[in-house]
Structure 1
């Protein structure tokens, strides 16, 4: 093999630069790679390294891989996909890395094409040698040769891969999906910050007669208002939800439904949850422009309530099963739903039989659609209107 060919071979040069730790000296300029101040090769040039699939890796693929070989294969593959660069296959990763880093001196995957001087890359330091002029004795007849148009020759050999229009089309790249994902992350961040602020203010709910200092903190109207002497016990009012998964509202999804007016199935919320199952969730009404902030505790373990806690229970989401009220400190359903307002959540297209028992109780039936999520807000407002009306009537009774 021609030693000059080996010295100027892009695969050999890439290996030399890798072993010397000089990958930073391989710089991309438009559609070419410049190796230091000596050589320039087209990015799309096929190297002598043949993949296990049979194709030859381009210089662009190998340069990008050796500079990013530390990435896991899934991350590396997604990166090449985003940049539109062919990737190194998983079986080829280690052999290529070992060869370029000098661990292997050669490999059967390297196959050099037959030598063609016209394909040799141009050295930046190579000086063109002047052609040897013939002696006057050799001149037989002067022939007029037209000058060569090198630019036209180069353009004739070019193979355009992309034009302006194809670049603007951005095929296989969903920028709308990126925008939606970024928006969701920002909304989730704002929601978490809001929840952290509110959790510190639960005990000072204005419904329970908060102090003037609290109103000043939150920017509420400081006009003196008579404090309610509620008969619902001291502390934050409690809403009970079933612990069974067969009900629509549970401790997992109650916050999104009551605060944001969005119903998310319990099984979906459980998969999204990180950390332990919550014993208590704080909710506040955010679906209106009321200046008063009302905080509620949502729990799903009635057996854990102390006797004084029952005085704070103002609402319950029912299953429609009698066993839900076992061991409650009330004698029957009439007493329960006189002291506590009840709600029964159902899908609007469920059979009437599902609400047959509930219709005999003094509870509010709330219907939502299985698919039309934009209707959830109206259903959540129904709950809030009934709950606030009940709390006002109970407070003044």
Structure 2
């Protein structure tokens, strides 16, 4: 009997526990012994013949999920049964189907026995191949052996494995090619992750250093750099002051104002995550996460854009308009409105028309809020931005709309 038929027979009879591995052989009770590496007649859809070792391990572990089964075979260095072959192979070995196109009971001809006919599938198993209990005769399985004994001119014992391998070539499937015993790609993954984290850290530090240097240079310009300007590579020639009346932005980092009241969606506590990362975090949640006192000023930059070559500009975010000096108002480019009249009390402007002609206004709201919440805001020249209460993946689009509107507004003021 061939290895595949023996394995199927033991599987159907529920005697898999009698299949024991001893060194490099599988012993099927006291009936048969086959090499572990013996190739069976079951051909994979990828073209290779499965070995007996592969099929024995699979039929004893077919209840495992394919991912767990595949990992176990890798750890033990056993070629695995591919996922497309699992069910057809299981159906055949358990007797649900009697045959399948994947089975090829073919034995190549050997120069030692050139006139031996190739057995057909019907020769796979014959009753007279089964040893008779109590008999002292050793019955060798298979029809080939019967025919080989007819050749009296040779005294050699027929080696079936040699017969099979004379006309075959080794094949490997995609899974076998990727197997490397004792090696994995975890170290490659960790190394690449560390490099990416280091790159992001350096970029973040460079942005911070650039902001500090820009702030110092601008402060030095107002005081006068004297002879140090050439050494720093900075032009100390005083630039003309730009004032709001004339519609241009004043010197220095542009300012964005946000309400100090908690009933608005955007505050100084969560503005950085929204504008830089495109993620809305409720103020009450952010306050619990923050340590220390509330900051007077937060610096934000646009970290994402449709234009990869766009120059990144830094903005100061403040929530205390009363603390601004007269020259600071020249730098105010945007405001997130609360929707209340008292937010603009003591602002250096005549009315709402003047405010939103010289400052870009934004009103952030939940998309399912009532229309009444934006009733007053709709009377002003303000851009209403809606976000979802639960779908945080949509925040990025809302933040990008804020940046696009703000940058267009800043460009128009700079060129007017």
The normalised TM-score by structure 2 is: 0.44
Query: TM-score if structure 1 supplies the norm length?
Result: 0.46
